[in-house]
A and B are shown apart, each in its own frame.
Chain A
Amino acid sequence: MSARNADISKGIDWLLVGLYMILCAIGVLSIFGATYKEGENIIQSFTAFQTDYSKQFYFWILAMVVAIAILVTDSKFFTATANLWYAFGILLLLLVFPFHTEIKGTRSIIRFGGFQLQPADLCKVFVALALAKYLSRVETDFSKTRSQLIATAIALAPAIMSILQQETGLALVYFSFFLVMFREGLPAGILIIGFSFAVLVVATLLLDPNTLALILTGIALVAIYILRKQIKRKKQLLVTIVGIWMVCVGIQRFLVPYVFESVLQPYQVKRIYDTIGKDYVPAGGTVLLEEATPRKKDDGGDYNVKQSKIAIGSGGFAGKGLLKGTQTRYDFVPEQRTDFIFCTIGEGFGFVGSFLLMGVYFVLLMRIVTIAERQRSVFSRAYAYGVASVLFFHIAINICMTIGLAPVIGIPLPFISYGGTSLLTFTAALFILIRLDADRQMVLR
């Protein structure tokens, strides 16, 4: 113990730390590029804690203080308190229901003093810890369905509460923990079923219901024809195929329309339709007007995505240069310092800059996977995969929505988007991983 205290830097993965510093620096620079107004005194804005980029800079310093605090903490602390943190996170989420402040239509934020806290955001780290803790228990046999269900419950409980707080974007993040479970032995079939389900939903939206039903029936009949010999031997197989067919048609006919009309908000449905390039006609039969949406947060997803694509597309190969992007400088892209920060990079630094950023993220994710695989303890490995999954989901969805490949759901780009909570959460998640990795020779439970 004393030896490690003397040198806390021992075993630290400096590549991860380096990537982290690069990403945070890109973040401050991008926010500067997006929000700097002509004639601002930069030094003054830093000393006065005024502008977004100076705030982000100070958040970064604060995050690094937290990171150092994490690095000097014993690894066992995280395994020991994992469940506690999770309980704390659930408590916070529950507290949101009575104490929330409605901001931009979402009911997931608690406000005290000058600070805003979004527990659903913070909970990502806690879930990663708790899930790792559960999976690393000696008595957990993850091949059993019961254990798989418990793990799923741990991962999705915050998601359900988040949906109830009308914050669907963050809820989706929790589904990324299935990657962790997959690594720890969740049958691949479940992921395949999940993927098939997604394909079915998209197909439902794109195709005429009757056409899709016919296609599904056709697939079922072909399957029966191919498997006719096995079916002769085993009647159960036929029942299974017919069952699957019925479920598929049921989803297509009843579940998807029900979810779209009753569960999701009209603005969310519109964004999904925007992404697949169709006009959304609600049950009433009139085209949805922007004014009719109950939630005003980054309104008009279509406009955002169009402007965002223009910004990124106009960057060209080498970009227009920092502070020279007309799209981002003159506020054509809404939310550009937070969710649409990637536009600033795409417009200012072009394909080269975007590609390099993607490269940095890719190296970061690959490094985390490598680190995960070198852990001796299941806890560390599961946790590492948790971090990788959450980061991956954020990066993929955020960038995809700015380039028009995913619906606009408001989740930030890790380490780059403006926002203290987000930066602190990701920093803590990453540095806990670095701490655990430094002690990778230990078996933690």
Chain B
Amino acid sequence: MSVFNQSRSTVIRFIIAGVFLIIVAQLVNLQLFSSKYEALAFNNAVYPKVRYPDRGIIYDRKGKAILNNTIMFDLEVTPSQIKGVDTNFLCKLVEIDTAEFKKRIVTAILKNGRYRPSIFEDLLTPEMHARLEENIYKFPGFALVERPVRVYPYNAAAHIMGYIGEADSGNIKRSSGFYRLGDYVGKTGLEAFYERVLMGKRGVEYMIKDNKNRLVGKYENGVYDTAALAGRNLRTYIDIELQQLAEKLMQGKVGAAVAIEPQTGGILSMVSGPNFDPNMLTGPNKQKNFNKLFLDVSSPLLNRAIKGQYPPGSTFKPLGALVALDEGIITPSFGVGCGGAYYGCSRPVKCTHKNAGHAANLRLAIANSCNSYFTHIYRLSVDAAKYKGVKNGYQKWKGYLNAFDLGVRVGVDLPSEDRGNVPDSSVYNKVYRNSWNSCTNLTLGIGQDMMLATPLQLANSMCIVANKGYYYTPHFVQKIDDETAADTIMNAFRIKHEPLTGISDDAYEAVISGMQDVVEIGTAKMARLPGINVCAKTGTAENYRVIEGKRTKLKDNSVFVCFAPRENPKIAIAVIVENAGYGGTWAGPIAALMMEKYLNDTLRTERLKEVERIAAANLLPDYLVREQYKADSTRAYNWFKMTKDSSVLQRFLKKEPKKDTAPAKGTTPAPKPDIRTTYLRLEAILPEHFYFTKPIQS
């Protein structure tokens, strides 16, 4: 028995050894052959906390910060720590009700869990922050957390500066992993164009987190941490006071104004109307404000200075002259006899002047803005014998315009610029089935036909005249702080473009004198400045717009270009005001005030009244009101259809209680015409043909 059982001790030893072997085998498997566990443990416990650098500051030409950083505060909540909080009091301070309070706490828990802080209210207004700061000790679990925010101290230059926003999937994809969710990137303007310069370098701080995702300390005492490198500052050509004045003058107007320093191509000011305060898109309520701006049919977010495309009209004439001069087709003494219209082709082109000799030479033709003269020299240019045919000649002529940066993107340092339009001969070939000649598009000579230009292009073309043949690509940024050779972004702005080589100084003087005459004796008398020789050209371009499916002629666009002083040009300006009539009516005075402000650094006191007069003028076209009503009511109806919530739609139906709430066509049905209701109602209720008294068939 005993002997028999003795062997069983060996069996027991083997059982123990067997189990231990299995355990060791599993340990070998886990610890020596599975590398994933190390990574899993690292991900479990180490949280790379991104340290955001300060974005670069943007300065104007006098060193004033026009886009700066400031600190705002978020109210954060850690749900697990809320105990004994006077909810009513907190709600009163944050201006919400208790139901909203509960909702936000639940959202915070769902988003980040109980143990990690989540944002309760972001970007507190200064007043709210002050109120909370005093009382925050009463609210355990709540904390005020700093958050860097962009601020525009002058409330100006919204379209130039742009704004930042959280990186979307497109930004992230394009950056091939550089940006991550939650990063802020420049969305438009200089913020977007100089993103790489302004954003600086992110730092990373490796933090240890525990099982509840609370950060409990630095990983390895921070040896792997990298510091954030602040973004570099931009020094621009902008004159912020000029910019503010220009913005004030463009109030209540649709259009744009651009001022450039001709010698450098530096943009002094760029305004697009309607405008908005850039601070609306930073800080509290930015989303609400953005939505409001986005839904406004007058498109305040659109930068018309680079995206608005207008027929340049008469303001093109000096350029047409330069092309003809450079080609050697005319001389300054070249003249035509004009009796009130150009009869060179079957369709006469009317001219505003009839008196004999108003186009006896180039200078007079410019001063009197003679249509006959410039259509004629256009035809001479494209039909010149040396080019053998109009198509070839036209391509040559178009080449000149492209060299002036007309019809191509100027290449300004703002994103999404439009190119305007100087059609290629192939376009005419297509439209006119290959049979066209210089008569077909002769109004190109006076800046019409298919020609379109942005205000920036017009201002740039003034620089060419002012500089007598050269220009630098218009741009805002003069210098990047700590610029290195790697900043190739600036190279394009330092190349001198010389599109004209064959023009004598005398010829330039003729053109420039003609433009000065426009100011002294012509249509731009309002632009005269005491002691300064101003050269200018007015333009009045016909304005068509497709409204409710019909091409409608609206009031002419007022166009004005100028530069000054004549002898040593410091500023070149282009102003376009839509629906404002003659170039001299509104665009001219605006340009005049801008020149005076910039050249004299101040305005004469008697001019201040003029500033107020222009600023107070509301030239927003009438159709906008109706467009807005249509857009709003359509949206309200779609909202009603989607959510069955008629509260928004009610506003549009108030006066017609009997009206069916479900119109057939997707838009709210136009209520019955009722002339006695208010002006706004009138806009809304009248069918188009009532409203637009003179419908124009194309």
Interface residues of chain A, those whose CB is within 8 Å of chain B, are 38, 143, 179, 182-185, 307, 309-317, 326-327, 329-332, 346-347, 350-351, 354-355, 358, 361-362, 365-366, 369, 372-373, 385, 388, 392, 396, 399-400, 403-405
Contacts and interface: CB of A to CB of B under 8 A. Distances in A.
Contact of A38 (B11, B28, B217): B217
B27 A182 contact: no
B15 to A, nearest CB: 8
Given A185-B1, A366-B16, A315 B44 contact: no
Contact of A351 (B13, B28, B44, B211): B28
B31 interface: yes
B42 interface: yes
B5 A314 contact: no
B37 A326 contact: no
19 contacts: A143-B1, A183-B5, A183-B8, A184-B5, A313-B37, A326-B42, A329-B45, A331-B212, A346-B31, A350-B31, A351-B28, A358-B23, A369-B16, A399-B23, A400-B23, A400-B26, A403-B30, A405-B23, A405-B26
Nearest to A180: B12
A346 B217 CA distance: 23
Contacts of A350: 31
Contact of A179 (B12, B31, B210, B211): B12
Give the interface centre of B11, B17, B26, B30 by most chain A CB atoms within 10 Å.
Answer: B30
A329 B45 CA distance: 9
A373 B40 CA distance: 47
Contact of A326 (B11, B15, B34, B208): B208
B38 A313 contact: yes
Given A327-B44, A330-B211, A362-B17, A312 B12 contact: no
Contact of A312 (B27, B211, B212): B27
Interface of B: 1, 4-6, 8-9, 11-13, 15-17, 19-20, 22-24, 26-28, 30-32, 34, 36-38, 40-42, 44-46, 208-212, 216-217
A316 B210 contact: no
A148 B24 CA distance: 35
A211 to B, nearest CB: 27
A315 B44 CA distance: 14
Given A358-B20, A361-B20, 5 more contacts: A313-B41, A316-B38, A326-B42, A327-B44, A354-B27
Contacts of B210: 330-332
Contacts of A183: 5, 8-9, 12
Contacts of A403: 23, 26-27, 30
Contacts of A327: 41, 44-45
A379 B11 CA distance: 20
Given A330-B216, A400-B23, A313 B46 contact: no
Give the interface centre of B8, B27, B212 by most chain A CB atoms within 10 Å.
Answer: B27
Contacts of B211: 330-332
Given A313-B38, A330-B211, A351 B32 contact: yes
A409 B210 CA distance: 25
Give the interface centre of B44, B208, B216 by most chain A CB atoms within 10 Å.
Answer: B44
A184 B208 CA distance: 55
A70 B40 CA distance: 47
B38 to A, nearest CB: 5
B48 to A, nearest CB: 14
A12 B208 CA distance: 49
A330 B30 contact: no
A351 B27 contact: yes
Contacts of A314: 37-38, 40-42
Given A183-B9, A372-B9, A310 B44 contact: yes
Nearest to B209: A330
A414 B36 CA distance: 30
B506 to A, nearest CB: 83
B17 A326 contact: no
Contacts of A400: 22-23, 26
Given A354-B31, A358-B23, A403-B23, A311 B17 contact: no
B157 to A, nearest CB: 49
A388 B9 CA distance: 11
Contact of B46 (A307, A316, A326): A326
A333 to B, nearest CB: 8
A132 B489 CA distance: 90
Contacts of B44: 307, 310, 326-327, 330, 332
